[in-house]
Amino acid sequence: MKIAVLGTGMVGRTLAGRLTRLGHEVRVGTRDVATTLARTDPDGMGNPPYPQWARRHPEVALTTFTEAVADADLVVNATHGEASIAALTAAGERHLAGKVLLDTANPLDFSQGFPPRLLVADTDSLGERIQAAFPELKVVKALNTLTAELMVNPEAVAAGEHTVFVAGNDSEAKATVTGLLESFGHTDVIDLGDLTGARGTEMLLPLWLRLMGTLDTPMFQFRIVR
């Protein structure tokens, strides 16, 4: 598939790298290509600047949001939750119409320091807000409940025996995303139904953040045993 990954942070890079290795044609979208390529300092999370990653992944093109999505078959939202709607707006509603969006973002506010606060809860979700802003987009919430490395390499913990979730209003779009997750190695993908299911997975973040502190690693996962 031709896949647009919006966002140049660790989630975007990790997904772009894995998707490329799986044979997809990947474009990473950013607000301003020149600015992203001029970065020399680590980002707010301490990750190396994008150009350092890009040099090791010459097959991944860096483009504007619009160029990334224009002829993509599938779009991945790997931006910060606070920036997601602006990024999609910059990509252009007409380029997004009818496409599947795999939304990995969480509505977290880091402005008050760590841990970040959840900006939306219970009666709404970032996934639904994106869907409301872009009615023609087929939003599927997924992969927002685990660290980037485990998104694409589930075997790295508990031999991959853990759970990921999909929620969305379009069954075909969910099937496409589920297929992608399975291609990463996920074996337990639970379909939570329509996009209101995103509320529960986004609200998992406060516990996830707490567990990361308690366990002193982001390399853990939720497994739904039944």
Inter-residue contact 223 to 162 (CB < 8 Å): yes
Q: Which one, 3 or 192, has the nearer CB to a copy of itself?
A: 192
Helix (H), strand (E) at residue 50: helix 50-56
Q: Which one, 32 or 155, has the nearer CB to a copy of itself?
A: 155
Q: Is 105 helix (H, G, I), strand (E, B) or coil?
A: coil
Question: Shortest Cβ distance from residue 33 to a copy of itself (Å)?
Answer: 35
Q: Where along the sequence are the contacts to a copy of itself (CB under 8 A)? A: 117-118, 121-123, 157-158, 161-162, 190-193, 197, 199-201, 203-204, 206-211, 213-215, 217, 219-226
Question: Shortest Cβ distance from residue 79 to a copy of itself (Å)?
Answer: 21
Question: Shortest Cβ distance from residue 74 to a copy of itself (Å)?
Answer: 24
Q: Which residues contact 83 (CB under 8 A, 6 or more apart)?
A: none
Q: What DSSP letter does each residue of 68-103 carry, written as one string?
A: HHHT-SEEEE-S-GGGHHHHHHHH-HHHHTT-EEEE
Question: Shortest Cβ distance from residue 152 to a copy of itself (Å)?
Answer: 17
Q: Which one, 87 or 192, has the nearer CB to a copy of itself?
A: 192
